[in-house]
Amino acid sequence: MNELIDTIVGAIQDKKGKNVVALDLSDFDGAITSAFVICNADSTTQVAAIAAGVEEKVEETLGQKVWRVEGLNNSLWVVMDYGDVMVHIFQTELRDFYKLEELWADAPATAYREEE
């Protein structure tokens, strides 16, 4: 799972995604997945580009296909399901509004620095 998260984070950073955070949900009973990777972007074009970059890099690097993708029709909030890991790519205003990390505030979080 760590290799998948690292690959996803790398793909997000390649497309200049912002405020990348991974939440470890593995110790939560009833959680639908083991981890969330969350980021944001300032435009719908960038949200879509990040999603495409994640899908391409994960398949290229790990040979793993995304199970399901939702939200590409408007690219305001795209969710990608990799089974053990779900990726949430928000337009910045929506991330600020939904505050997904606060819903899982007890989860151990890893914040990734933006690449220069």
pLDDT tens-place string over residues 54-101:
999 999 999 999 999 999 999 999 999 999 999 999 999 999 999 999
Q: In what order do the strands lie in the sheet with 109-111?
A: 68-70, 77-81, 85-91, 35-41, 18-24, 109-111
Average pLDDT of span 40-65: 98
pLDDT the model gives residue 24: 97
Cβ count within 10 A of residue 38? 22
The tokens of 24 are what? Answer: 């470890």
Distance CA 99, CA 52 (A): 24
How would residue 30 be classed by pLDDT, with cut points 50, 70 and 90?
confident
Task: Calculate the average pLDDT of the chain.
Answer: 95
Cβ count within 10 A of residue 84? 13
Query: Which CATH code for domain 2-109?
Result: 3.30.460.10
pLDDT the model gives residue 13: 97
